[in-house]
Amino acid sequence: MTLTALTTAAANAHHFPIRVYYEDTDAGGIVYYANYLKFAERARTEMLREAGFHHTAMMEGDGIMLAVRRVSADYLRPAKLDDALGVTTSVTGLGAATIDLDQCIRREGQELCRVHVTIACVGRDGRPVRLPTELRAVLSSNMQS
């Protein structure tokens, strides 16, 4: 990736701060592995909220939900009690009913965990439905090239 592409990707990424609390850790003060997925979920939710898409409104108004279809995580270094973390979320792909995202959890610029997630848009019956046009437009404009 060129410097210009990296700058564009960074500009299009969503950044969300998180603090590690006691409840996030094991007995040794290290973040429990599943909690990285919770951090990533919070960041995705806030990215959508800041773009004007609230889960409750989508469910009540449009009858759609966004559900995790697939997730993979690479754990690189441990986060610890009281760490200030940042979660960067980048849209990497859009399908008819899916969104691909890359997320990186960092402490002071150092990568701790990388998460790739595919989100499926589903109706009240749990079956896939097309992404709403407005959501697709917002996500497309922020997609990494």
Distance between CA atoms of residues 109 and 16, nearest Å = 13
Distance between CA atoms of residues 67 and 51, nearest Å = 18
Length of the chain as a residue count: 145
Residues of 43-57 as b/e, b for ≥16 C-beta within 10 angstroms?
Answer: bbebbbeeeebeeee
pLDDT in tens, 18-33: 999 999 999 999 999 9
Candidate list 26, 74, 82, 83, residue with the active-site label? 26
pLDDT in tens, 30-75: 999 999 999 999 999 999 999 999 999 999 998 999 999 999 999 9
What mean pLDDT do residues 86-108 have?
97
Q: Which of 49-53, 79-83, 98-102 has the lowest mean pLDDT?
A: 49-53
Is 24 an annotated catalytic residue?
Answer: no
**Residue 143: which residues within 8 A CB-CB, separation 6 or more?**
12, 91, 92, 93, 94
Question: Which residue segments constitute the domains of the chain, with CATH numbers given?
Answer: 3-141 (3.10.129.10)
Q: Structure tokens of 111?
A: 């990568």
Confidence check: pLDDT of 94 > 70:
yes
Confidence check: pLDDT of 7 > 90:
no
- Calculate the average pLDDT of the chain: 91
- One-letter amino acid of 45: T
